[in-house]
Structure 1
Amino acid sequence: MDSWVRFNSQSQAKERIIRAAQYACTLLGYTLQKGSTGADLRKTISQLEAHMSLTRKLLRLGNSVEALESAKRAIHLSDSVLRLCITISHLNRAMYFACDNILWAGKTGIISELDQKKWSQRSFRYYLFALILNLTRDLYELRLLVECEERHRASKRPASPSPGSASLPADQLSSPSSSPVALTVPPVMLAGLRRQLHLLVTVLYSNPPLLLDLLKNSCDIFIPLDRLGIYPTGSGFVGLCGLSSSILGILTMIHPWLKLKP
């Protein structure tokens, strides 16, 4: 109960819930279209989705200031890669929110004769740049953790035998047609691949914030890619990705320890 009260008191909580509902409507509309359901119901779902999108834009008024403040804090990070990725990501988010605010003003009639398509494309471009930087940051942190885990395992591994202590079987020494390289390289490569995969799974399993952030950004990136026409995936896939990332975002707000820091 305390977690829910803390979640509900946050300013972004309602926006996250409405975002999840909006993309659920997108997915539902696609499902109804495939099922040849009545046009009236599909129109109602589409209008509900549009109203939720407009409400989210209203709730995000002023978020540019928060993004700029986050960028100012990120400048002081000691790691140069994290400092670059996080700072520029927040700056792109600030521009994305600013474009989104202008779009809201245009849709509500405050700004007349606004080219909404142009501003929408501009907004999604900033959103895409921010997500690319977020994914770069996730992969960088994942690489650091994998290297740390490798060093930890290497320190606990027993010393390998000296090269002269191992000898090949007699049949391999006597037969010129037998190739030790041909016999041993594929299994070694396969074992190395399994080891790296197991290492990756272990690192992600032991770092839920990084795993959730990686999954969330991976889902989100398909939204601007589709809207900009770079990689069209269709409304059904976009709705599924948006709903999944919204649920992951809600989880990080209910349980703040799941949020990736800094």
Structure 2
Amino acid sequence: MDSWVRFNAQSQAKERVFRAAQYACTLLGYTLHKGGAGAELLKIISQLEAHMSLTRKMMRLGNSAEALEAAKRAIHLSDSVLRLCLTVAHLNRAMYFACDNVLWAGKTGLLPQLDQHKWSQRSFRYYLFALILNLTRDAYELRVLMEREARCLAAKAPPSPSPITLPNDDLSSSSSPASPGALILPILSARLRRQLHLVVTVLYSNPPLLLDLLKNSCDIFIPLDRLGIYPVGPGFVGACGLVSSILSILTIVHPWLKLKP
């Protein structure tokens, strides 16, 4: 109950709930359309999605200031890669929210002459840049943790036995050397298995990094589709938006799941 009270008191959590509902409507509308639902029902779902989107835009008014404050904090990080990625990502988020606020004013009639398509495209471009930087940060943290895990495994591993030297007669009587391809492929396969094992181990032991990576990976398809860079369709966009919203809600309900800094 305490977790729910704390969750309900945060406007960001409420916005995430509306976001989940919006993309659930997107997914539902696509599913009903594929199932041959009536035009009236599809219109209701579309209107509900539009209302959810407009409500979210209203709840995000002033979020640019919060993003700028986050950028001011990130610029003091000691790690240069994290400092660059997080600072520029927060600045892009600030511009995204600013464009989104202008778009909200246009949709509500406060700016009737506003070119909503242009501002929507501009908003999604800033959103895409922020997500690319967030994914870069996730990849960097994953690499650092993988290197640390590899050093720990190497320190725990027993020393390898010294190779056995064969006499010249044995070498001359042995079979002919294998082809380079036959030697390289097993080495590459073993190296790939080690890398995959490291990735799984690191992500399993770091749930905040795993959730952030999944959330950003889902979110990036939304601006890619809206900007026409990589169209995936409303059904996939709805599913990705719903999954990322649920993951965001989890990080709010359980703050230890949020990736820091």
TM-score by length of 2: 0.95
CA-CA distance at 1:171 after TM superposition: 7.7
**Corresponding residue for residue 255 of structure 2:** 256
Work out whether 1:229 is the aligned partner of 2:228: yes
Gaps of at least 5 residues in structure 1 are none
In structure 2, the partner of 1:129 is 129
Distance 1:160 1:166, change over 3 A: farther
TM superposition outliers: structure 1 runs of 4+ over 6 Å: none
Match of 1:69 in 2: 69
Percent identity between the two aligned chains: 77
Secondary structure of the residue aligned to 2:37 is coil
**Which residue does 1:196 correspond to in 2?**
195
Alignment of 1:48-197 (within 5 A): 48-163=48-163, 165=164, 167=166, 173-175=172-174, 177-179=176-178, 183-197=182-196
- 3-state SS, counterpart of residue 11 of structure 2: coil
Contact 1:71 / 1:88 at 8 angstroms: preserved in 2?
yes
Contact conserved, 1:172 with 1:180, CA < 8 A, in 2? no
1:94-118: CA deviations, max 9, x gaps? 0000000000000001112100000
Instruction: Please state how far the C-alpha of 1:78 moved relative to its aligned partner.
Output: 0.1
Equivalent position of 1:238 in the other structure? 237
- Whole-angstrom CA distance in 2 between matches of 1:166 and 1:114: 80
Deviation of 1:186 after TM superposition, in Å, equals 2.7
Q: How many residue pairs end up in the alignment?
A: 261
Gaps of 5+ in 2: none
Counterpart of 1:39 in structure 2 is 39
CA RMSD in angstroms comes to: 1.8
* 1:133-169, Cα deviation, whole Å (9 max, x unpaired): 0000000000000000000111111122234x3549x
For the residue of structure 2 that corresponds to 1:261, the secondary structure is coil
Distance in 2, Cα, partners of 1:159 & 1:190: 23
Moved more, 174-183 or 118-127: 174-183
